[in-house]
Amino acid sequence: MTVVLSDIPVEVSPRRLAAKAEFPVEKVTDFLSQAGSVLRPAGIFDEVDPVEALGRSEDTWGKTVIIGLCTLGQGVAGRIGKSSGRWNLWDDLSKVALSDTLDYLEYRVRLFLKPTGRSTGDRLIPGCRELPLEANRLILDHFRAEESMGIQVQSSGEIDSRTGFAFLYTTADRTGDKPSHCDNCSRMDCPAKL
């Protein structure tokens, strides 16, 4: 069952963005008054058989996984990288807003799984050790939402993490405190570490 969240409540405070961008709060406040109307945080997720949807499975994933996409919308995609000067407020805004969008999506995934007695396990992003970069295309194709969600795919197959990203949550039963897969990963620009 595909769950579509077309209007995710995300509000970025001027102080938080100013701290991220190392920019004066007054200028960030002016920027947000104009940019805020462009943000259209949205997400979509589905519980799938990983072999059917991704052509692979790992022992730690369980029989089903949650795959999904999150985005800030088409309006943001057109503005990324176009700011001038030392600070690119659009880039910083997208990182902060996508982090909040993912937090909300994870909350909704947990609510979705709760009646089944399961919870989310590890969050994987295509390009990490357990999930190859090719999974981006498979997840995008599963939802057929690339253009409508404003997600930009680079020639390498990687989704521009300033416009959105694909994700996978394991749903396997977990015993004890297992270390996160991210703890052992050296990738610093990964959206999972937002």
Element spanning 139, H or E: helix 135-143
| pLDDT tens readout for residues 74-106 | 777 666 655 554 447 788 888 888 889 999 999
Q: Output 144 or 36, whichever has higher pLDDT.
A: 144
- Note the pLDDT of residue 108: 95
What's the residue count for the chain?
Answer: 194
Section 64-70 average pLDDT? 94
Show the domains of the chain with their CATH numbers.
3-193 (3.40.109.40)
The residue among 82, 71, 189, 188 whose CA lies nearest residue 140 is: 71
Q: How far is Cα 5 from Cα 181, in angstroms, rounded to an integer?
A: 27
42 to each of 25, 69, 133, 185, how far by Cα in Å? Answer: 27, 8, 22, 27
| pLDDT tens readout for residues 112-129 | 998 988 888 889 989 888
- Note the pLDDT of residue 169: 94
pLDDT tops 80 at residue 36: no
Q: How far is Cα 140 from Cα 108, in angstroms, rounded to an integer?
A: 20
Say if residues 18 and 30 touch (Cβ distance below 8 Å): no
- Note the pLDDT of residue 177: 42
Residues 6+ apart with CB under 8 A from 2: 44, 45, 46, 143
The residue among 77, 81, 73, 68 whose CA lies nearest residue 112 is: 68
Q: Kindly state the tokens that stand for 6.
A: 């077309």
- Note the pLDDT of residue 45: 96
